[in-house]
Amino acid sequence: MSEQDINSDNYRAERVLRESIVSATGLTSSKLQIGIKGDPSLRESTYDRARYCSVVDNNYDELQPNLEELLLNRSTYRIYIGFNNGEIRTCSIFDPLREEIHNAERLLDHAYLERQFPAIGYEDKIRLIRSLHSGLEKSEIYEFLPLYWRTIVVKRNEMWAPMERAHIQAILATLNKLRDVQQYYLRNVTICIVQDIVRMGFNCDGTQIINADDYDKFLEENLLS
């Protein structure tokens, strides 16, 4: 490959997309799930760490529909659930650069949800996300991006599709089962409707990044078989 090819915008754009674990355009069809190993000393002590029964565990049946409400009918586009410590982190489309932190117990209170998370229909939320993407492309600041990154952003925006409602419901409905897996139980999970992926951290200090379309297959092959 010539130096000119290496310095070309197409080459740089392709390399950026290829190098990232989850790229600007998400997981490719050849990467239905990705596993990341963590601290080996934690993996070795997996069997010695009993699962702590947290406020999320004790209240998940009540908490699940409220978490679903946040992603489907309110401003939240990304949610992190910390099973061990009861920490819930959310990101809102009305303040997309900020991460909010909530105690899981507070999310059991419908009045708290009403105050903290503005209501917005799922289709309206998707339309707002698309307008945010479009606004970036039209911004003068966008001109600061290298040409190859502008190509990536345009490609991402053109092919972008949100996580399906059914996938959100299916994921939230099975988290308590993953939490009950002996030794290798779920510690935390991040669901993002913009990227259409699920990130899961387990007791063995491993992380799984899963395409939402293949979540059922992941459960069948790795955890619930």
Domain assignment of residue 3, yes or no:
no
Contact 199, 80 (CB under 8 A): no
**Higher per-residue pLDDT: 184 or 190:** 190
Average pLDDT, the chain: 81
Asked whether residue 91 is assigned to any structural domain, the reply reads yes
Q: Is 4 inside any structural domain?
A: no
Q: How many domains does the chain have?
A: 1
Residue 220's pLDDT is what?
Answer: 80
Nearest to 60 by CA among 81, 34, 46, 43: 81
Helix, strand, coil % (nearest 5) of the chain? 50, 20, 25
156 is in which domain, residue-wise?
9-223
Pair 95, 131: CB distance under 8 Å: no
The pLDDT tens digits for 29-67 are: 445 455 544 445 444 555 455 666 889 999 999 999 999
Residue 1 maps to a domain: no
| Per-residue confidence (pLDDT) for residue 82, from 0 to 100 | 95
Is residue 24 in some structural domain?
yes
Give the integer Cα–Cα distance in Å for 125 and 77.
8
Range 100-123 average pLDDT: 96
**Given a cut of 80, is residue 215 above it in pLDDT?**
yes
- Tell me the H-state helices in the chain: 3-6, 9-19, 40-44, 55-73, 110-116, 122-138, 147-159, 165-179, 215-218
Residue 85, in any domain of the structure: yes
Residue at 51 is within a domain: yes
Q: Span 84-110, mean pLDDT?
A: 95
Q: Is 56 contained in some domain? A: yes
